[in-house]
């Protein structure tokens, strides 16, 4: 099934601002908001924008809707992976909130066309649970695809489970590694071992209450069985680690990167650090947890201490967990981290920070700002958030993110998704801000972020957008936007030949 959002297919550039036109977001013929949009000139190598999540094959199911004001077709939190043995095979999965399930889409032509496949997690899709979410994906070196999710009967009684596909995402196995999480923790990640297809590694939170370490499990037989989960480290009170991810260095050693944060009683915001562990035996044992560089966030916390993005029009928040995103150059083992940081504006707003390590995580470069949001834009319109990072085979680094640069006094909050690039060389270090540019606008038209659904008291794009991968010589992005029918939807776009 090939879904294309016909109104959003013109390739465009953001090299200059141009005259503005009105764009209205509505549903069932009712206008929700209108705001001004720039007319953008064409740019090369920007593929058509494809809406992946509509129509949804589960839209008629009466499962267990996730909390919040989800509309009947709303989706969020995409994860994306590319098959190393067949780079044109790309898979995206996401939360379909109204049924409380996870749906995937697979492509075998580099992201030009897609086919939807629900994962068999909940009763809506042939699984045993009533709700599922927090998706993450990883392809192994043999083309086997793993999907990890949090599933449950309530949000306080969750399980972590893994599904596997051996045909590029067209069909999925039943759930394995079904593990309860005390206190309702979630946010799993899964990584494969590029040196041996028998190994895959999963981390997840053990609790949602700032209760310390993550849990870890691995498979040594290609997903047939999983070892008993355990916490590989202990933390002092009020410390937690969130959403870590394993990378396999060229020599075969593992590095696990994550977000270590501290939040004392009645303290806000949280204090965050990039943290890491190592393993030289395929995850059988791990080094102690160490912190690398501080991750500074703007002091605009909500009641939980999370640093969210502030809507300059309404004063409400755009929900954002603020976790870093990571990537590795498989040729040289360089590690890259991107996150939201306020140090570039003296603590006033969050922008996108970048740091790199060329020694397996032992040392890291000084953080630099890499989002290309014009600095003459009003302060709150310069907020940049939810970054993703990926590396092409030639070493080109891409970082995607949202910002509000086109906001104006008209109703609504125009929001766009961007891709900035760096082409490393001996004379062009990624640690130098001047090395970053080649920005492309991945949304054809700004969408009104105030039209996405509410989760708690925040506009909800998701805790994360795992939305950028390298597919051959091209980047493929998967991200959240509001479509022309007012639906919070998942879109994909290819950038490259």
pLDDT digits over 7-59, tens only? Answer: 333 333 333 333 333 333 333 333 334 344 333 332 358 999 999 999 988 88
Total structural domains within the chain: 1
For residue 488, being part of any structural domain is answered with: yes
Residue 71's domain spans which residues? 6-495
Answer whether residue 493 shows pLDDT above 50: yes
Q: Residue 307's pLDDT is what?
A: 56
For residue 438, being part of any structural domain is answered with: yes
pTM for the complete prediction? 0.89
Alpha-carbon separation of residue 439 from 109, 417, 472 (angstroms): 24, 10, 20
For the domain that residue 75 is a member of, what is the CATH number?
2.120.10.10
Instruction: Give me 441's structure tokens.
Output: 């606008």
Q: What is the pLDDT of residues 183-213, one digit of tens each?
A: 666 889 999 999 999 999 999 987 655 556 8
C-beta neighbour count of 53 within 10 angstroms: 27
Whole-number CA gyration radius for the chain:
21
Q: Residue 181's pLDDT is what?
A: 77
Q: Residue 327's pLDDT is what?
A: 97
For residue 23, being part of any structural domain is answered with: yes
For residue 1, being part of any structural domain is answered with: no
What gap in Å lies between CA 294 and CA 297, rounded to an integer?
10
What gap in Å lies between CA 366 and CA 218, rounded to an integer?
33
For residue 234, being part of any structural domain is answered with: yes
For residue 99, being part of any structural domain is answered with: yes
Instruction: Give me 10's structure tokens.
Output: 């013109």
């Amino acid at each position: 099934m090939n879904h294309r959002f016909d109104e959003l297919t013109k390739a465009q550039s953001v090299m200059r601002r141009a005259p503005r036109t009105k764009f209205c977001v509505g549903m069932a013929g009712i206008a929700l908001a209108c705001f001004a949009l720039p007319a953008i000139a064409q740019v090369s190598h920007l593929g058509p924008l494809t809406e992946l999540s509509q129509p949804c094959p589960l839209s008629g199911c009466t499962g267990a809707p996730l909390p919040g004001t989800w509309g009947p077709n709303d989706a969020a939190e995409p994860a994306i992976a590319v098959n190393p043995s067949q780079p044109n095979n790309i898979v995206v999965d996401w939360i379909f909130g109204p049924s409380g399930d996870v749906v995937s889409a697979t492509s075998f032509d580099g992201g030009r066309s897609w086919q939807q496949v629900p994962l068999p997690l909940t009763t809506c899709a042939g699984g045993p649970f009533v709700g599922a979410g927090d998706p993450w994906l990883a392809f192994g070196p043999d083309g086997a695809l793993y999907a990890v999710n949090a599933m449950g009967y309530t949000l306080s009684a969750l399980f972590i489970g893994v599904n596997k596909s051996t045909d590029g995402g067209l069909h999925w196995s039943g759930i394995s590694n079904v593990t309860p999480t005390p206190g309702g923790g979630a946010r799993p990640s899964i990584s494969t071992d590029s040196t041996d297809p028998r190994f895959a590694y999963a981390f997840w939170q053990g609790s949602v209450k700032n209760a310390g370490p993550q849990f870890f499990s691995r498979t040594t037989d290609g997903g047939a069985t999983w070892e008993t989960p355990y916490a590989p480290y202990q933390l002092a009170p009020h410390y937690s680690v969130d959403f870590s991810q394993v990378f396999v260095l060229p020599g075969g050693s593992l590095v696990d990167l994550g977000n270590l944060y501290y939040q004392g009683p009645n303290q806000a915001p949280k204090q965050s650090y990039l943290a890491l562990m190592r393993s030289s035996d395929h995850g059988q044992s791990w080094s102690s947890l160490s912190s690398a560089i501080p991750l500074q966030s703007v002091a605009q916390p909500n009641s939980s201490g999370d640093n969210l993005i502030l809507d300059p029009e309404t004063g409400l928040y755009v929900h954002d967990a603020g976790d870093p995103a990571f990537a590795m150059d498989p040729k040289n083992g360089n590690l890259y981290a991107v996150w939201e940081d306020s140090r570039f504006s003296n603590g006033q707003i969050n922008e996108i920070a970048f740091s790199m390590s060329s020694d397996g995580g032992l040392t890291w470069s000084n953080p630099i700002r890499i989002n290309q949001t014009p600095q003459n834009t009003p302060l709150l319109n310069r907020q940049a958030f939810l970054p993703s990072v990926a590396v092409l085979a030639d070493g080109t680094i891409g970082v995607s993110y949202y910002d509000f640069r086109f906001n104006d006094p008209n109703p609504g909050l125009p929001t766009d998704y961007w891709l900035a690039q760096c082409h490393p060389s001996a004379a062009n270090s990624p640690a130098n801000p001047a090395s970053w540019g080649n920005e492309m606008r991945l949304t054809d038209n700004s969408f009104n972020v105030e039209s996405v659904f509410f989760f708690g008291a925040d506009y909800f794009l998701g805790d994360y957008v795992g939305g950028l991968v390298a597919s051959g010589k091209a980047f493929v992005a998967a991200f959240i936007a509001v479509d022309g029918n007012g639906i919070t939807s998942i879109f994909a776009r290819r950038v490259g030949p």
